[in-house]
Structure 1
Amino acid sequence: MKQKLLFLLLLVFSAAWSQNPKILKGKVIADTKDLGGITVGNLTTHKEVFTASDGQFSIYAKAGDTLLFTSVQLKTRKIVVEKEDFDYLPFPVRLELKVTEIKEVVVEKSNIDAVSLGIIPYKVKPFTPAERRYYTANTGSGLVSVDAIINTISGRNAMLKKEIAAERNKMIQERLGNMFDADYLMTEFKIPEDYIDGFVVFASENPKVAKAVKDKNKTLTTFLLGGLAETYNKMITDAK
């Protein structure tokens, strides 16, 4: 009889203890580096907390409570807390990025441009700094100057041409970085993290990639990078 009474008391205390809120430590996981400020609300207790910059959070909850995760850039998600969730260190919560659909905008052909408005002269080519230096060293005055002849003989023109090529290559690298971030290159092309910068330089020196990037053809650029990634990864393996 005493054993049965003790067993019943343990059940009562266990049930009561399980209904008391405890700190649930979790971490939001999403395909973005900005994981701070995500709202984590307990719809049962009406309490809210915000995630830290790395996505971690702590909130009082118990089994059966419903947690609501909301953010500007992430899809809203509800999760019902289970007893086992307190065993994770931390409890992982996967959120998806919101996809914003842009309505189609039709731009009709117009003869109005910077030239017609008088902002820039007719058919003026925009030069980069290196191109301006080369232009000035050769035909800046509109005539073939003595400086141009001297520059050609001394080899300065060759140096300026190299500067132009390096400058254009740097622009391609920057555009590649804007098209594909490091996480994408590591996930899709299996490029090791320490070799990301080297791969971008390697890819930018490929004429076909440079043209595809210049044409803003992301589909073709992605296809070309796939082939270059295989070559680059093999070079890394062979070098080890």
Structure 2
Amino acid sequence: MLTPKKTFEFCIFLYFVFTLSSCFGQEKTIKLNGKVQSISNDVLFVLIVNKNSKKSTITDSLGQFTIEVKLKDSLRFTAVQYQTKEISITSKIFLEKLLVVDLVDNVINLNEVTVTPYNLTGKIDLDIERLAIAPSVTSSVLGLPNADVEKMSQSERLLIEADRGKYMRFYVIALTINTHKILNKLSGRTDRMKGMVARDKNMEIEKEIIAKFSKKTMSESFKIPEEKIDGFLTFCLSQTDFSELSKATNTEEIWEYLKLKSIAFKEQGFIKKE
């Protein structure tokens, strides 16, 4: 039987054990993978700052980012088009190593202004006849060359600019070296542009997936909580074979891919077992 003194010493020992464990846990640093998302705006170049360590990073064209954090650190998300948001690293976020952040548009309210230069009645059919609006003049209407060529994304244009031309050109009496292309290749800029183009294509695939299957449908079918579906899609985007979905010929192929990845998502512990 323990004496009061022994009991007191044992309690003191347990106190120090738990205190030290807590301290070590808070000092541990992990790499947190995350994704910033918004319904209406671009998610590229959102600034994320760890207010505790002062380290920072920015999101890529998909809104994805990676940053080092400790338990109870505070992350601040800022961009001109969004309201600033701060998130504390809770035990749940720390253990899952995954964070999905919804940002709210930074709407600037202006005073209402009413302009009626043509004495409009408010009745669309009458106003159109009175205004005699001419058809829009576009390159397609004018029949200009290349009018129907598909527009390239910013990433694709940057890649063409970085990787244009051949490395060397031989002429009759001279050799011309494409230093622009070589420097872009050596500095890694060309590879970064290729990565951005690939991410843009993956983002288009993700949009198609969300358009085809609702989050509720995926949640119920794959047994993944609906609030975890964004994290699941982020997990799919990180897979090396995700871009292969662009070659899928039917909806069934895409569904089977998602079903297979949902198993891996749960096996890797992104969802806590009840």
Larger Rg computed on CA atoms: 1
Q: TM-score range by the shorter chain?
A: 0.3 to 0.5
What TM-score results when the alignment is normalised by the length of structure 1?
0.43
What TM-score results when the alignment is normalised by the length of structure 2?
0.38
